[in-house]
Chains A and B, each alone.
Chain A
Amino acid sequence: MSTISDKRKEELLQRYGSKSASHSKEGGGLKTSHIRMRPGGFGGPRGPHGGMGGSKPKNMGVTMNRLLAYIGRDKVKIFIVFGCVLVSTLSNLGGSYLLRPIINNLVSQRTIAEKAGNLLTGILIMAGIYATGVICTYLQQRIMIGVSQNALVRIRKELFSKIQRLPVKYHDKHTHGDVMSRFTNDLESVGEMLNNTLPQVFSGVLHLAGTVILMFVTHWVLALVIMVTIPLMVWAGGMIGKQSRKYYKDQQQALGAVNGYIEEMVAGQKVIKVFCHEKTVTEEFEILSDDLRQKQIKAQFFGGIMGPVMGNLSQVSYALSATVGGILCLISDFDIGGLTIFTNYSRQFSRPISELSMQMNTIFSALAGAERVFEVMDETPETPDPADALTVCSEANRVEGARLIKGEVTLKDVTFGYSPDKVVLKNINIKAEPGQKIAFVGSTGAGKTTITNLINRFYDIDKGQILIDGIDIKRIRKDSLRSNIAMVLQDTHLFSGTVRENIRYGRLDATDEEVVTAAKIACAHAFIERLPEGYDTVLEGDGANLSQGERQLLNIARAAVSKAPILILDEATSSVDTRTEKYIERGMDQLMTNRTTFVIAHRLSTVRNADRIIVLEQGEIVEQGTHEELLAMKGRYYQLYTGAVELD
């Protein structure tokens, strides 16, 4: 029925991570489409279920300790919680143990009045014990919620904070979906564990221990007999647990594969329609979905039988204790009350064991999730600034204690490659005087955007130096450096929020008038006013209700409002029509006054009036000069300008 070959099936499963072959450290399974252009790129959001992994954690002890440290700050509360667990477990056990004397009393040889009196006393005591137990149960849960949620808040905060400090390289290598998955899927299972598992494990262990003790107290010979069933239970629990862990990992991978595929196809839905690819895509999805189902059946089956198996093994021990206990009642002086409670214990006995085994699954998946979260947290952040790093500022945006710079930018013998074997820039030497406009032109992939990545230290160079007013940028604090460089990037990125807020992102303390001025410079004011609520119009994620060109204008406005002395425009108007661009020109000129500007553009009309145009090919400067000088040279620039030569 399906037109998909077996080879294709294999490929699909492998590519999206359902087969673990391609599980690398860098978040394996999900291979997003959207080719990453060297600056930026993007992946899609992820659903709450379906991370990668769910694998058996590599170093449980270490991870567990680290996780517990987050709760550890609420030490007092934890003690109270465990205290409550202890009390409620004891009361539970105690209350049930009380049944023995009560029942014995009933069948004893005492007088009716005595019996009744004892009954009343017994009940009152039980009531007291039960009440304590209930209160403690409630208290324990109530406190635990606060503790676990606080821990989660802390972990999330640290994770987010850490992600802000990671170098751009990390973000280029990992899909957003994968990183987000750590906030959602992985932390979800961690939260589950923190909230429920820990107290339950403690309670389970206590209960178990308590039950066993009580069994021995009730009748030690009988208890010994019952203990025979324990190895059986442990073995069964272990077997089932092992199988379910294995299949659970498979299930998670398959879930991740389905998730990855959905993400890619839903995000690229329009292309699918344009190529009438719906049928193929649906068939491919069915393969992944069926694969998931197979893995689910196995995983959930083993997960699901834990309860029935363990629970009914305890029924067996119930039967055993009834039989042997009954016999003991006949041949020895074992009392009926004791028999009653003993049989109860033997039945209750396996509940903690099966609960503990089920908790093990939760624990494993939580630890695996925690590991993935910690993995991100442990990533090397951007190189920290040296202790003596400088802060700089310009005339326009003075800052206390900062060194005044004019905006002279020098590149000396700069050589750089994103990966060691592929050098993108070779021996670049450029000097831009303050206030000059320097343009970069060249064929795609020649290295233009790379230079901008280096100036604001998104990447650090291997060889050579970049200097601002003579200071090596490595000696300037990164945040100071960047706040003095305003960038308009090739990809337009807007935030959900109002138009005003988006523009204000360029300088948080800009006044409303300054925002409007900036919008006017960028020729955005006109279309903003035409929006339903003008500047207060809320933009849907990434400005979906605007055209490409309009979004670029907003980007420019954002840069316009900042007071940075250095400006980088990377294809800032590629989607804006040239007529509008001409109108912007005056505004752009205003934008560039007193700022050292680097412009990258394919459109030669944009670069025409630069103070210097630098022609890059294959990472090297082949020509530089003014527009007129370059034309006169009749070299590369001339060819580009007159459209006479092909480029690749």
Chain B
Amino acid sequence: MNRYWKYAKPYLPAFIIGPIMMIIEVIGEVVMPLLLSKVIDHGINGGRGIPYIVTMGVTMVITALCMMAGGVGGAYFAVKASSGFANDLRKDLFKKIQTFSFTNIDRYSTGSLITRLTNDITQVQNMIQMLMRLALRAPGMLIGALIMAFILNLKLALVILCVIPLLTLAVYYILKTAFPRFRLMQKKLDALNAVTQENLVNIRVVKSFVREDFEEEKFSRANQDLKESTVSAMRVVIFTMPVVTLAMNVTTLAVVWFGGKQVIVGGMTAGVLTAFINYVGQILISLMMVSMVILNGSRALASYKRIDEVMNTEIDLTDEQAVKKEATVKDGKIEFRHVYFKYYKNNEKWVLEDINLVISPGETVGIIGPTGSGKSSLVQLIPRLYDADRGQVLVDDVDVKDYSLVHLRNGVGIVLQKNVLFSGSIMENLKWGDEDADEEAVRQAAQYAQAHGFVSSFTEGYDTELGQGGVNLSGGQKQRLCIARTLLKKPKILILDDSTSAVDTATEARIRESFKNELSGTTKIIIAQRISSVIDADKIIVMDDGKIVGIGSHTELMQTCRMYTEIYYSQMDKEVTAS
């Protein structure tokens, strides 16, 4: 609970004043029937006459206006406090997610994180608001009305006292049954979302295999499930209203019976009875409010738990232990010493096994190997997107864990296999590499990546908006923009993870050419499928099944590495020799 205190603290005044204002409303509510009873008993029956009645009337109007002020004020502060709390929490939650390592991110699905940042926070916010408005009001009303009732007539008050525990028990039982059903309902909702989302993402596959009916059946099941779980939950909840109403009615009847008898024998005035009946109503309404709060509270509790889960996530990749935080990457030397790695710690099989490797500054290194051999995994250890499980990864003879993450990642540029660009203009996207770059620098980076050509052909050039309704970019164009973006960073180490798979051979050759000429000081690591992409590298690393099975130049490997020659021959046409 302490963790969340800091979100409440700035709004403490609001948190306090709000409920206090609600109390004003409560006091008024309790007082009003009392005033009425005075009108009846003193004004009418007591013979104090019209002036007295009018005075009481004016008092009541003033009370009513005070109550309004209280209620409005209460609402205002409730909104202010709850929205402030929720906003700060939301921002911090987002910030927390930004600190997640790749492994942390992998654990939560995108959809789940989005839900936690939006819906779950909203639930908590609504809960706080409701609490503020009712937390004092409901119990306040309850206690106030009870006190009044006791003051007015002790015996009758005891009647009420009998009903309350029974009612509480009934409501408690209802809630207990409802909570697990609500949880189930949420799950079914998630399932429906998942089916829908998948269907939308895969719509082309659905259409080309003509699976519309199949998909509809899938959906239908999720649809029905959701309905059934909702109905099941609601069926329990709807007992609340009748139960409370029943209690209210029974109590009213009992009060009228016992109280009526007392009035008949003269032990109580009619006015008191009237007021009493009003208080009964109030007490039961306040009980109902409490049960509403608890009901909604259980939903908010589930949300709170989900938020807490994220906030409590241990970040498993930080630079807190780093001892050389000021160091930057200067030369671009890379070394792997007995590195072992796997993504899922429970798996038996290593994704990378006993990797030993030295890459000198400025070298161009190619990595090649069958699908799933660990190429991407290997390079992702260099900028510490993941950490090795055993062994060491060193950059410039310093363990990567000893750099500050910012310096390390500024020095190591990696173009990931999956190309992601963001809403905004092309220029904005490219500037992710360097916020302060001027247009010339951006253009130059684009040129090296062979992207400048097509960007210039767009009517708006670099100001072209990317995103829905924007320009349709082909796969190859996307890839080239991603390369340009990384180039702009001017990293000492540049890693391309299969970043030209959608680019044709000729263009790719030009990219390699510009790398050779313009980025001679940069250590370049290129993962590729085509031999032609790596044939000119200073060193080629051949991987298979998580191990390095060959290192050397093209000529060396042709003589020593069987895997390499297989790959080579699978690509080269023996009749045409590359020039």
Interface of B: prevailing SS? helix
B219→A160 contact, CB < 8 A: yes
- Contact bitstring A27-64, B, C-beta under 8 A = 1, else 0: 00011111111111011111111100000000000000
A35→B421 contact, CB < 8 A: yes
Interface flag for B230 (CB, 8 Å): yes
A575→B197 contact, CB < 8 A: no
Minimum distance in angstroms from B271 CB to a CB of chain A: 8
Contacts of B90 in A (CB 8 A): 258, 289
A30, A444, A549: the one contacting B502 at CB < 8 Å is A444
Q: Closest A-chain residue to B564, C-beta based?
A: A579
A268→B84 contact, CB < 8 A: no
Contacts of B205 in A (CB 8 A): 487, 489, 493, 505
Q: A33-B421, A116-B264, A336-B40 are in contact. Are A577 and B473 (CB under 8 A)?
A: no
Minimum distance in angstroms from B347 CB to a CB of chain A: 8
A285→B94 contact, CB < 8 A: yes
Which of A169-177, A366-374, A425-433, A464-472 forms part of the interface with chain B? A169-177
B71, B105, B249: the one contacting A312 at CB < 8 Å is B71
Interface flag for A75 (CB, 8 Å): no
B39→A322 contact, CB < 8 A: yes
A489→B83 contact, CB < 8 A: no
Contacts of B467 in A (CB 8 A): 31-33, 35
- Contact bitstring A257-268, B, C-beta under 8 A = 1, else 0: 011001110111
Contacts of A329 in B (CB 8 A): 44
A274→B223 contact, CB < 8 A: no
B71→A311 contact, CB < 8 A: yes
B371→A262 contact, CB < 8 A: no
Q: Closest B-chain residue to A15, C-beta based?
A: B423
Q: Closest A-chain residue to B57, C-beta based?
A: A323
Q: A103-B274, A153-B227, A549-B371 are in contact. Are A315 and B197 (CB under 8 A)?
A: no
CA distance A26 to B467 in the complex (A): 13
CA distance A131 to B242 in the complex (A): 10
Q: A35-B472, A107-B263, A482-B208 are in contact. Are A282 and B98 (CB under 8 A)?
A: yes
- Contact bitstring A133-158, B, C-beta under 8 A = 1, else 0: 11101100110011001101100110
- Contact bitstring A588-611, B, C-beta under 8 A = 1, else 0: 000000000000001111001000
A47→B118 contact, CB < 8 A: yes
Interface flag for B503 (CB, 8 Å): yes
Contacts of A639 in B (CB 8 A): 506
Q: A130-B253, A603-B530 are in contact. Are A487 and B208 (CB under 8 A)?
A: yes
Interface flag for B61 (CB, 8 Å): yes
Interface flag for A626 (CB, 8 Å): no
Q: A145-B235, A292-B87 are in contact. Are A38 and B80 (CB under 8 A)?
A: no
Minimum distance in angstroms from B162 CB to a CB of chain A: 17
Minimum distance in angstroms from A564 CB to a CB of chain B: 9
Contacts of B223 in A (CB 8 A): 153, 156-157, 160
- Contact bitstring B356-391, A, C-beta under 8 A = 1, else 0: 000000000000111110001000000101000000
CA distance A47 to B420 in the complex (A): 21
Interface flag for B520 (CB, 8 Å): no
Minimum distance in angstroms from A198 CB to a CB of chain B: 15
Interface flag for A508 (CB, 8 Å): yes
Interface flag for B286 (CB, 8 Å): no
Interface flag for B147 (CB, 8 Å): no
Contacts of B413 in A (CB 8 A): 274
| Count of residues in B whose CB is under 8 Å from the partner chain | 184
B450→A270 contact, CB < 8 A: no
Q: Give residues of chain A (264-293) contacting chain B, Cβ–Cβ below 8 Å.
A: 264, 266-278, 280-282, 285-286, 289-290, 292-293
Which of A212-220, A298-306, A355-363 forms part of the interface with chain B? A298-306
Interface flag for B444 (CB, 8 Å): no
Q: Give residues of chain B (313-349) contacting chain A, Cβ–Cβ below 8 Å.
A: none
Minimum distance in angstroms from B203 CB to a CB of chain A: 5
B504→A640 contact, CB < 8 A: yes
Interface flag for B3 (CB, 8 Å): no
Contacts of B60 in A (CB 8 A): 315, 318-319, 322-323
Q: A134-B246, A184-B193, A263-B114 are in contact. Are A579 and B563 (CB under 8 A)?
A: yes
Contacts of B242 in A (CB 8 A): 134-135, 137-138
Interface flag for B539 (CB, 8 Å): no
CA distance A126 to B418 in the complex (A): 72
Interface flag for A183 (CB, 8 Å): yes
A168→B207 contact, CB < 8 A: yes
Q: A35-B466, A300-B79, A541-B109 are in contact. Are A444 and B579 (CB under 8 A)?
A: no
Interface flag for B177 (CB, 8 Å): no
CA distance A308 to B376 in the complex (A): 61
CA distance A330 to B39 in the complex (A): 11
B498→A575 contact, CB < 8 A: yes
B270→A336 contact, CB < 8 A: yes
B36→A322 contact, CB < 8 A: yes
Q: Closest A-chain residue to B228, C-beta based?
A: A149
Q: Closest B-chain residue to A344, C-beta based?
A: B278
B531→A578 contact, CB < 8 A: yes
Interface flag for A496 (CB, 8 Å): yes
Q: Of B25, B32, B118, B383, which is in contact with the most chain A CB atoms at under 10 Å from its CB? A: B118
CA distance A82 to B501 in the complex (A): 65
Contacts of A173 in B (CB 8 A): 468-469
Q: A175-B468, A444-B503, A542-B201 are in contact. Are A38 and B111 (CB under 8 A)?
A: no
B79, B196, B277, B569: the one contacting A99 at CB < 8 Å is B277
CA distance A309 to B74 in the complex (A): 12
Contacts of A46 in B (CB 8 A): 111, 114, 193
Interface flag for B549 (CB, 8 Å): no
Contacts of A542 in B (CB 8 A): 198, 201
Q: Give residues of chain B (94-142) contacting chain A, Cβ–Cβ below 8 Å.
A: 94-95, 97-100, 102, 105-106, 109-111, 113-115, 117-119, 122, 129, 133
Q: Of B208, B383, B466, which is in contact with the most chain A CB atoms at under 10 Å from its CB? A: B208
B570→A605 contact, CB < 8 A: yes
Q: Closest B-chain residue to A292, C-beta based?
A: B87
Q: Give residues of chain B (8-32) contacting chain A, Cβ–Cβ below 8 Å.
A: 25, 28-29, 32
Q: A34-B421, A145-B231 are in contact. Are A49 and B274 (CB under 8 A)?
A: no
Interface flag for B216 (CB, 8 Å): yes
Contacts of A122 in B (CB 8 A): 256
Q: A106-B263, A119-B260, A271-B420 are in contact. Are A276 and B28 (CB under 8 A)?
A: no
Which of B47-55, B148-156, B167-175, B393-401 forms part of the interface with chain A? B47-55
- Contact bitstring B59-82, A, C-beta under 8 A = 1, else 0: 011011101101110111011100
Contacts of B39 in A (CB 8 A): 322-323, 326
A285, A300, A508: the one contacting B91 at CB < 8 Å is A285
CA distance A292 to B122 in the complex (A): 12
Minimum distance in angstroms from B61 CB to a CB of chain A: 4
B110→A296 contact, CB < 8 A: no
CA distance A405 to B200 in the complex (A): 32
CA distance A610 to B470 in the complex (A): 36
CA distance A102 to B159 in the complex (A): 19
Interface flag for A396 (CB, 8 Å): no
Interface flag for A327 (CB, 8 Å): yes
CA distance A106 to B327 in the complex (A): 93
- Contact bitstring A486-504, B, C-beta under 8 A = 1, else 0: 1101100101100000000
Interface flag for B552 (CB, 8 Å): no
17 residue pairs from A and B, CB less than 8 Å apart: A31-B470, A33-B467, A39-B204, A42-B201, A106-B263, A106-B273, A116-B261, A134-B249, A160-B199, A270-B418, A278-B98, A312-B68, A330-B50, A444-B477, A547-B372, A576-B371, A602-B503
A-B pairs, 4 with minimum CB distance? A308-B71, A323-B57, A549-B371, A319-B60
Taking A575-B498, A581-B570 as known contacts, 13 extra A-B pairs with beta carbons closer than 8 A to each other, sorted by chain A number, are A26-B468, A37-B472, A106-B264, A135-B242, A164-B199, A263-B110, A285-B91, A318-B32, A336-B271, A344-B278, A444-B477, A541-B194, A648-B453
